[in-house]
Structure 1
């Protein structure tokens, strides 16, 4: 299993919106960055990801699971753009902020720290475990 991070502006698509979709999940559509798209092409059913609120909150707030592998993005007719579907798994007991992540020496190489603008990004096993520990949440 691989781990990922999905960033969303809560005013556009919030953790609550994701949870409200239930088991059916929702397309992670609208991504127009080739690197992020390529990461989604690598994803497999059952892969887990952090749901990250960007903008003011800047925090990991939940865990999601890939429930449909890469397919054409329904928000465009441009065949270059693909997306996955994700479903909510559980909320973090305590959100983990970007400032907390940046302050954690073991997370210094995390892509979120080095390239915070990338909307879909991989997370290593060690990063996954540490952020879950920080959020007092079962991985």
Structure 2
């Protein structure tokens, strides 16, 4: 099972808004980068990832789950991009900041450290477990 990281500016879409959507979740629209698109296309229902507040806060704040696999994004007039649906699973007990991720040698190869602008990123199993632990989860 793969793991992912989804970036969102809290002023545009926050963890609290994601949580408020409940079990129905929400559509992850607006991705317009081909690398991020390929990541979305690779996602499978039931896989989990991190919800990351970008620009404001710069921290992993929660765990999300893919509840619907890749399909066309109606907000894309070109028809080239798609989306997945996500639901909130649980918050981290303590947000894990980008600064903390960068300071952890075991996370030196993490995409978040090396390509921080990519809005949807893969996360390895080891990275997923370590960031969860750093955030107070088992």
**Fold-level similarity (TM above 0.5):** yes
- Find the counterpart in structure 2 of residue 39 from structure 1: 39
Other structure's SS at 2:89 match: strand
Does residue 136 of the first structure (1) align with residue 133 of the second (2)? no
- What is the deviation of 1:77? 2.9
Q: Is the aligned partner of 1:26 residue 2:26?
A: yes
CA shift for structure 1 position 79: 1.7
Match of 1:132, SS?
helix
Q: Which residue of 1 aligns with 2:59?
A: 59
Q: Paired residues, what number?
A: 138
Aligned to 2:98: 98
Using the TM superposition, give the Cα deviation of residue 74 of structure 1 relative to its aligned residue in structure 2, in angstroms. 1.9
Q: How does 1:74-93 map to 2 (within 5 A)?
A: 74-93=74-93
| Per-residue deviation, 1:8 | 0.1
Where in structure 2 are there 5+ consecutive unaligned residues?
none
In 2, Cα distance between the equivalents of 1:56 and 1:89? 22
Whether the 8 Å contact between 2:51 and 2:61 is mirrored in structure 1 is yes
Structure-1 separation of matches of 2:55 and 2:65: 23
State the Cα RMSD in Å. 0.7
Could you state the TM-score of these two structures normalised by the residue count of structure 2?
0.98
What secondary structure sits across from 2:106 in the alignment?
helix
Distance 1:121 1:63 in 2: 14
